[in-house]
């Protein structure tokens, strides 16, 4: 972790959109590309079941 959403490249790598990030009980809706991810963050994503399963397998 420690990467921004842009650096993590979620859309290009898995075809997913990140609609929110949950951190320490707070939710950041529509996080900007420069949002830095931290260990323990929960990403709320949208995409097909296959895309989400591939993301979960690679990152879960």
Taking the domains of the chain in order of start, what are their residue ranges? 5-59
- What's the confidence (pLDDT) of residue 56? 93
- The CATH superfamily of 5-59 is Regulator of K+ conductance, C-terminal domain (3.30.70.1450)
Cα 51 from Cα 25, distance rounded (Å): 26
Cα 58 from Cα 28, distance rounded (Å): 23
Cα 21 from Cα 41, distance rounded (Å): 6
Please tell me the pTM assigned to this model: 0.85
Which band of pLDDT confidence, cut at 50, 70 and 90, is reported for residue 47? very high
Task: List residues bridging with 46 in a β-sheet.
Answer: 17
To the nearest whole percent, how much of the chain has pLDDT over 70? 98
- What's the confidence (pLDDT) of residue 41? 94
Residue 1 has pLDDT above 70, yes or no: no
């Amino acid at each position: 972790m420690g990467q921004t959403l842009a650096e993590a490249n979620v859309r290009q790598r898995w075809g997913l959109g990140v609609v929110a990030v949950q951190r320490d009980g707070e939710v950041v809706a529509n996080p900007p590309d420069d949002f830095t991810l931290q260990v323990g963050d929960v990403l709320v994503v949208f995409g097909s079941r296959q895309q989400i399963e591939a993301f979960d397998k690679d990152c879960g």
